[in-house]
């Protein structure tokens, strides 16, 4: 009998012939037909035509509920009328200038007012540049050169953090001293020498490694929710305490969590004040954006009026781009407490319901996420503590689940289910119906997904009582 993946691929191919043709054409001019690896999936990506609110339509005319939202920026959904109006109004005045605009002051004021740690900001054009600048600032401020990052976590596309992002399980090394695994060829040994890899949600080993390296360590950079492994039992507190004691700067990579978990990002959500925060995504309201900020003292490293040591330059052509700033300001103005409460409860509701469907079908796995930011499902494991656990999830089932849902009008990719405030309860219900149908097919497919020990125990207990 045909396996589920093969039958889902056939169904996908029937529904997306124009995307298939475009992918084939792309392969003649883009490496492997691709220019953004995040959007690639097998057998080939869906080419987008247009989107509105929570719905996205592909070039074949298939409409789907969008649970990706361009990997995070579109917290209000597509083409929110206020954002579109702000962009149009800016375009009436011109798209970009070789001069600053008042917009950059307004957006910087908004960041300073919402963040626990930011008193001064610099803008750049992507989250990757923001983490790069955060690292440069930490090195310049402390006069130290090493940077610690967490195993299994993506902090952007630059050499200093493209280490141990998705290391194969066999390459991890011990949790006492995780290996530094370059993400690709081309990362020089000289860069690796200055990187320390820490285990996530493992306070004993992370604290020990920070202490052992404190004299050389400029910063620890952390995505406060791991990838996605919600912080446990005081892990962020332990990081804050140790970095503070050892004179190491704590950088929160808030590129995805900033303005998503709360107005004040993960800093507010978890009540931790880092030294530096890096932003992107939502801050630009759907347009290319990055920013990093910190205290006045740290940010003085960028001050071009300073008469001290040569400041860090921040010269990007697209820094503080007026269209981005206008879209970002319009987006942030819409993010009220009520919007956050709805977004966070939709995420929790979705995870709870999907978990209960999986339990009913006796599929081993767990749902994972924080607020509206979800990995959604890790198959075949029962612990999302860290990358060491979640890298063992069944990648085949993750792909089957995603493709099955894509065929049924629900768009998310393995590991990425990022909600927007435009999602209605009716759309959540439709999503759950499609997910339930696919999970039922998974449960009845061969070979059967293993039954989790936890569910077996629960069943034993309930049948005994
Ligand atoms: C946590 C985190 N940091 C940094 C980045 C890089 O941001 P950008 O894609 O804007 O360069 C991303 C992007 O997904 C991210 O999720």
CB distance 156 to ligand 1 below 6 Å: yes
pLDDT in tens, 160-192: 999 999 999 999 999 999 999 999 999 999 999
Distances (CA, A) of 465 to 129, 459, 461: 58, 10, 6
Atom 9 of ligand 1, nearest CA residue: 127
The atom number, within ligand 1, closest to the CA of 72 reads 14
Q: Could you tell me if 451 and 459 are in contact, meaning their C-beta atoms sit under 8 angstroms apart?
A: no
Order of strands across the sheet with 410-411? 48-52, 55-58, 63-66, 410-411
Residues 6+ apart with CB under 8 A from 221: 131, 134, 135, 147, 148, 149, 150, 155, 161, 251, 253, 278
Q: Could you tell me if 137 and 294 are in contact, meaning their C-beta atoms sit under 8 angstroms apart?
A: yes
Distance 314 CA to ligand 1 centre (A): 19
Q: Is the pLDDT of residue 200 over 80?
A: yes
Least confident stretch, 107-111, 307-311, 404-408, 451-455: 451-455
Q: How much is the average pLDDT of 234-260?
A: 98
Q: Quote the tokens at residue 363.
A: 């599929």
pLDDT of 2 reads 77
Distances (CA, A) of 57 to 22, 377, 385: 15, 25, 36
Q: Could you tell me if 164 and 149 are in contact, meaning their C-beta atoms sit under 8 angstroms apart?
A: yes
Atom 7 of ligand 1, nearest CA residue: 127
CB distance 126 to ligand 1 below 6 Å: yes
Domains of the chain: 4-75+337-464 (3.90.1150.10), 81-334 (3.40.640.10)
Residues 6+ apart with CB under 8 A from 57: 48, 49, 50, 51, 63, 64
Q: Is the pLDDT of residue 230 over 80?
A: yes
Residues 6+ apart with CB under 8 A from 416: 68, 71, 374, 375, 376
Q: Quote the tokens at residue 370.
A: 């924080």
pLDDT of 306 reads 84
CB distance 318 to ligand 1 below 6 Å: no
Q: Is the pLDDT of residue 117 over 80?
A: yes
Q: Is the pLDDT of residue 133 over 50?
A: yes
pLDDT in tens, 427-459: 999 999 999 999 999 999 876 555 444 444 444
CB distance 131 to ligand 1 below 6 Å: yes
With both helix axes pointing from N to C terminus, report the angle between 425-444 and 395-407 in degrees, rounded to the nearest 10.
130
CB distance 284 to ligand 1 below 6 Å: no
Percentage of the residues of the chain whose pLDDT score is greater than 90: 93
Mean pLDDT of the chain, nearest integer = 95
| SS3 state of residue 303 | coil
pLDDT in tens, 263-304: 999 999 999 999 999 999 999 999 999 999 999 999 999 999
pLDDT of 460 reads 45
pLDDT of 1 reads 60
Beta 63-66 vs 120-124: how paired, if at all? Answer: unpaired
Q: How much is the average pLDDT of 189-209?
A: 97
pLDDT of 103 reads 98
Q: Could you tell me if 294 and 119 are in contact, meaning their C-beta atoms sit under 8 angstroms apart?
A: yes
Answer yes or no: pTM beyond 0.85: yes
Atom 12 of ligand 1, nearest CA residue: 156
Residues 6+ apart with CB under 8 A from 141: 218, 249, 297, 298, 301
Q: Could you tell me if 40 and 82 are in contact, meaning their C-beta atoms sit under 8 angstroms apart?
A: no
Distance 157 CA to ligand 1 centre (A): 7
pLDDT of 66 reads 98
pLDDT in tens, 212-228: 999 999 999 999 999 89
pLDDT in tens, 319-366: 999 999 999 999 999 999 999 999 999 999 999 999 999 999 999 999
pLDDT of 448 reads 59
Active site residues: 154, 253, 281
| SS3 state of residue 269 | helix
């Amino acid at each position: 009998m045909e396996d589920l993946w093969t039958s889902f691929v056939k169904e996908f191919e029937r529904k997306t012939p124009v995307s298939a043709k475009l992918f084939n054409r792309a392969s003649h001019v883009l490496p492997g037909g691709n220019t953004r690896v995040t959007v690639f999936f097998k057998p080939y990506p869906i080419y987008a035509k247009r989107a509105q609110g929570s719905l996205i339509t592909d070039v074949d005319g298939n409409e789907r509920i969008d649970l990706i939202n361009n990997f995070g920026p579109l917290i209000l959904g597509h083409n929110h009328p206020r954002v579109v109006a702000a962009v149009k109004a800016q375009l009436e005045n011109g798209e970009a200038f070789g001069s600053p605009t008042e917009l950059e002051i307004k957006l910087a004021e908004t960041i300073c007012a919402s963040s626990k740690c930011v008193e001064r900001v610099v803008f750049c054009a992507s989250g990757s540049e923001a983490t790069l600048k955060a690292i440069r600032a930490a090195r310049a401020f402390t006069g130290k050169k090493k940077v610690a990052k967490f195993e299994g976590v993506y902090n952007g596309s630059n050499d200093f953090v493209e280490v141990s992002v998705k290391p194969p399980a066999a390459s991890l090394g011990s949790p006492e001293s995780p290996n530094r695994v370059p993400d690709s060829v081309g990362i020089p040994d000289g860069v690796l020498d200055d990187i320390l890899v820490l285990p996530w949600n493992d306070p004993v080993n992370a604290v020990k490694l920070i202490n052992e390296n404190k004299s050389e360590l400029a910063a620890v950079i952390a995505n406060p929710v791991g990838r996605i492994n919600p912080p446990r039992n005081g892990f962020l507190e332990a990081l804050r305490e140790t970095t503070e004691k050892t004179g190491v700067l704590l950088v929160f990579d808030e590129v995805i969590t900033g303005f998503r978990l709360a107005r004040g990002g993960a800093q507010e959500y978890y009540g931790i004040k880092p030294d530096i925060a890096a932003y992107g995504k939502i801050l630009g309201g759907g347009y290319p954006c990055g920013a990093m900020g910190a205290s006045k003292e740290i940010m003085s490293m960028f001050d071009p009026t300073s008469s001290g040591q040569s400041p860090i330059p921040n010269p990007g052509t697209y820094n503080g781009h007026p269209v981005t700033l206008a879209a970002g300001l319009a987006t942030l103005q819409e993010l009220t407490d009520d919007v956050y409460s709805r977004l966070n409860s939709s995420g929790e509701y979705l995870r709870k319901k999907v978990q209960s469907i999986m339990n009913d079908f006796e599929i081993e796995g767990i749902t994972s996420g924080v607020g509206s930011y979800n990995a959604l499902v890790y198959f075949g494991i029962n612990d999302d503590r860290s990358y060491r656990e979640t890298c063992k999830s069944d990648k085949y089932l993750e792909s089957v689940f995603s493709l099955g849902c894509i065929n049924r009008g629900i768009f998310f990719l393995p590991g990425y289910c990022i909600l927007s405030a435009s999602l209605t309860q009716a759309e959540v219900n439709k999503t759950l119906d499609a997910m339930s149908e696919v999970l039922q097919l998974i449960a009845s497919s061969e070979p059967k997904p293993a039954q989790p020990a936890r569910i077996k125990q629960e069943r034993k207990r309930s049948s005994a009582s």
